[in-house]
Amino acid sequence: MGFGSRARVYVFLLAAIASIAPSVLAAPQSSLNSSSSPYAGFPSTFSLFWTADAGVSGFVFSFDNGSGVFENGSWAAFNSSNFTWANASRPLGALPGTLVRWMEFANDSNGAWNASQTYLLNLTPAPVPLPLNWSVSSSCASQPVNFSSVWSGPGGFSSFVFSVDGGSGLANYSATSFTSQNGQGYAYLLKRLPSTAGQNVSWRVFAFNSLGISNSTPLESFNTTGCAPANASQGSNGNGTPTPVTSPSQRAASSSISVSASHIGITCPYTTFQGPLEVSVNYFNNGAYSCDGMTLEVRDQTGRALGRNAVSPAGCSNGRAEFYINATSTGDYLVTAFASADHSVNASCSTNYRIPSIEINRVPEFSPPLAALVAIVALGLMRMGKKFE
């Protein structure tokens, strides 16, 4: 075969290789399917991870919201990299139990298309916050008390609202503080009760989860009582009615729930007139009392947290931890002890701190009556002196 014939064969082979090269590259491939939410009546984001040898170009999302018919969305461009995520958000149907189907189509930079498999999503009812426990720490008239509640619900909590009627109608208050951890939420409100004993107080708590769904505790009520100047704060087991005051010298509170056989008790003085507040905490964990593994939070009557520097350890005696709290102004304070590993294990007590006023005692001045007496005596002595001259 001559040179010219061989050249024509080479050209033909190169052309054939060029024509089949794109087909050798793999078409787009998908994996790692996911959906952000299965809750009926709420939006969900559907995701697939796409790869392509020639670079992914774009995708089409196809969705069946329970009607039995797929509806294709518009083609959306990728950034033509070799791998990327394809995400699409759609509102889900309102009926729990509906079977939703979805899939995606993607093409690469050479125009090759591929389809993912069809994925199924069974719609479930949206979660509603469930109250586990609610209590008020004391019924003592004119005293600051702790309204608290513990909730359960997946997805966490966004806010809590306390509705309290002390005699002038229900009024709403934001929680003094709340935490959301491991599917549980804990919220409390520090509020002073009416000053009159026998006054009926009604209250309830509203909880809102991350989806905006709310629920409330039943409307509870109790009558304020006249208490000794010092009293013990206490809890209840979900009925909103305080237990009787048992100690006339201290306000003590213990957590009203027990998680994993752990519980916390905390004791506050009724009033401290000078120097640091001193509180003591009993933390029972894993079958023994411990002075470690707890966190203290202190808030004033406006709900402002004092900060970590306001609390300092004061020692440990027989498994009972002592703490000093450096209050900065006269007023009521709420002290809450949390188990560091599980904030649903907690207890609170309220206390009052007063900075005594200081009066400066002035040195008595020489009074006018005394000065007049001295003058009279001096004048008499002068006259007597003239008489004996």
Give me the mean pLDDT over the 49-55 stretch. Answer: 91
According to the model, what pLDDT value does residue 210 have? Answer: 83
Which residue reads 């509640």 in tokens?
A: 149
Mean pLDDT of the chain: 76
Which residue reads 């907690």 in tokens?
A: 346
Q: Which of 46-55, 136-145, 172-181, 211-220 shows the lowest mean pLDDT across its residues?
A: 172-181
At the second CATH level, the architecture of 130-353 is Sandwich (2.60)
Q: Domain locations in the chain?
A: 26-122, 130-353
CA atoms within 13 A on the CB side of 34: 8
DSSP state of 136: E
Which CATH number is correct for 26-122, 1.10.357.10, 2.60.40.10, 3.50.30.30, 2.40.40.20? 2.60.40.10
pLDDT over 70 (residue 17): no
Two tokens, residue 380: 């008499």
According to the model, what pLDDT value does residue 231 have? Answer: 36
Q: Phi and psi at residue 247, in whole multiples of 5°?
A: -130, 125
Number of other CB atoms surrounding residue 35 within 10 Å: 15
Count Cβ neighbours within 10 Å for each residue of 211-241 and write b for 16 or more, e otherwise. bebebebeebebebbebeebbbbbbbebebe
Two tokens, residue 278: 């001193």
Q: Give the integer Cα–Cα distance in Å for 367 and 374.
A: 11
pLDDT over 80 (residue 207): yes
Cβ-based burial of 262 (10 A; exposed 0-12, middle 13-18, buried ≥19)? buried
pLDDT over 80 (residue 181): no
Give me the mean pLDDT over the 258-265 stretch. Answer: 56
41/267: higher pLDDT = 41
Give me the mean pLDDT over the 51-76 stretch. Answer: 93
Radius of gyration of the chain measured on its C-alpha atoms? 38
According to the model, what pLDDT value does residue 188 have? Answer: 87
According to the model, what pLDDT value does residue 198 have? Answer: 93
Q: 123 CB contacts (<8 Å, ≥6 apart)?
A: 38, 39, 40, 66, 92, 93, 95, 96, 97, 98, 99, 100
Residue 200 bridge partners (DSSP):
223
Q: State which amino acid sits at residue 335.
A: V
Give me the mean pLDDT over the 70-76 stretch. Answer: 94
Q: Give the integer Cα–Cα distance in Å for 92 and 127.
A: 15
Give me the mean pLDDT over the 191-219 stretch. Answer: 91
pLDDT over 90 (residue 280): no
According to the model, what pLDDT value does residue 115 have? Answer: 95
Q: Give the integer Cα–Cα distance in Å for 349 and 334.
A: 6
Backbone dihedral region for residue 185 (phi beyond 0: left; psi -120 to 50: alpha; all else: beta): beta
According to the model, what pLDDT value does residue 88 have? Answer: 95
Give me the mean pLDDT over the 106-135 stretch. Answer: 92
According to the model, what pLDDT value does residue 182 have? Answer: 76
Q: 268 CB contacts (<8 Å, ≥6 apart)?
A: 250, 251, 252, 277, 279, 335, 349, 350, 351
pLDDT over 90 (residue 247): no
- Transcribe 169-232 into DSSP letters: --EEEE-SEEEEETTEEEEEEEEEPPSSTT-EEEEEEEEEETTS-EEE---EEEE-B---SS--
Would you say the CATH fold of 130-353 matches that of 26-122? Answer: yes
Q: pLDDT-derived band of residue 147, with 50, 70 and 90 as boundaries? A: very high
According to the model, what pLDDT value does residue 383 have? Answer: 59
Q: What CA–CA distances, in Å, run from 100 to 40, 70, 327? A: 10, 10, 58
Portion of the chain with pLDDT greater than 90, in percent: 33
Could you report the per-residue pLDDT of 340-357, keeping only the tens digit for each?
A: 877 777 777 777 776 654
According to the model, what pLDDT value does residue 273 have? Answer: 57
Could you report the per-residue pLDDT of 281-326, keeping only the tens digit for each?
A: 877 777 677 788 888 888 877 777 777 777 888 888 766 788 878 7
Could you report the per-residue pLDDT of 126-144, keeping only the tens digit for each?
A: 889 999 989 998 899 988 8
pLDDT over 80 (residue 110): yes
Could you report the per-residue pLDDT of 221-243, keeping only the tens digit for each?
A: 999 998 865 433 333 333 333 43
Candidates 211, 221, 333, 315; CA nearest to 272 is 333
**Is the distance from CB of 128 to CB of 212 less than 8 angstroms?**
no
Task: Calculate the dihedral angle through the C-alpha atoms of 263, 232, 163, 217, rounding to the nearest 10 degrees.
Answer: 40
According to the model, what pLDDT value does residue 19 have? Answer: 52
